Amino acid sequence: MLGEKDIGKKLAGEQAANEVQDGMKVGLGSGSTVYWMVKRLGERVQQGLKVEGIPSSNQTEQWAKEFGVPLTDFSQVDYLDVTIDGADEVDENLNLIKGGGGALFREKVIAEAAKKFVIIVDQSKVVTQLGAYPLPVEVLPFGWEMAAKSIEALGCAWKLRRRNNEIFVTDNGNYILDCDFGMIPNPEELHKQLKMIVGVVETGLFANMADKVIIGGQETTKTIEA
């Protein structure tokens, strides 16, 4: 039986999948809400929908294959019609924190490549201002300690992400620093400051990028458009 958050995730994911039209090239994000979107998209493919997807993580690629969603890559397509992805936080201006699953770099690539960027979340991810969730910052393994010192100088406490007592490694072979900046009043400015640091590959701040957010509740969904 699904819990309260899972019901919201399922409703949001399924609604987003139903927005995909025949012939579209779709960016497939990452995370537990995206699972429901990919599953529903696979059902629509079995019913005759023609789509091609580009996954943002190895996990999403496995789901797409499991549910029968045809895949392509950027050697074959120049753009995506829509990218559908989850988020760890969404503020009232539709700025995002992403990267809790560790796929933030590829997620940003497919977001930038899309004509439309749709976010799917349950109600618990909606906040007034970003920052309660630690900001993931992907860094190169070589000299990551130097990058961490520069990030700390911007006013945060950081932790090197670990999983099963080992350093977490992204699908790109990099490390992630989970950075606690407290509340983030200007996500775009902080993103720019972090990107200037040598060794920073990408940040989990997605500022002024989302076109639509679908929020799943217990019985229905709510949609907010930029």
Residues designated as active site: 107
DSSP secondary-structure letter at 71? B
**Residues 6+ away with beta carbon under 8 Å from 205:** 95, 96, 97, 130, 135, 184, 187, 188, 190, 191, 194
For strands 96-97 and 205-206, give the pairing. Answer: antiparallel
**Residues 6+ away with beta carbon under 8 Å from 131:** 89, 97, 181, 182, 183, 184
Show the tokens assigned to 93: 């201006």
Given the structure tokens 């099963």, which residue do they identify?
164
Within its chain, how far is the Cα of 128 from the centroid?
19
Show the tokens assigned to 190: 């902080």
175: β partners = 139
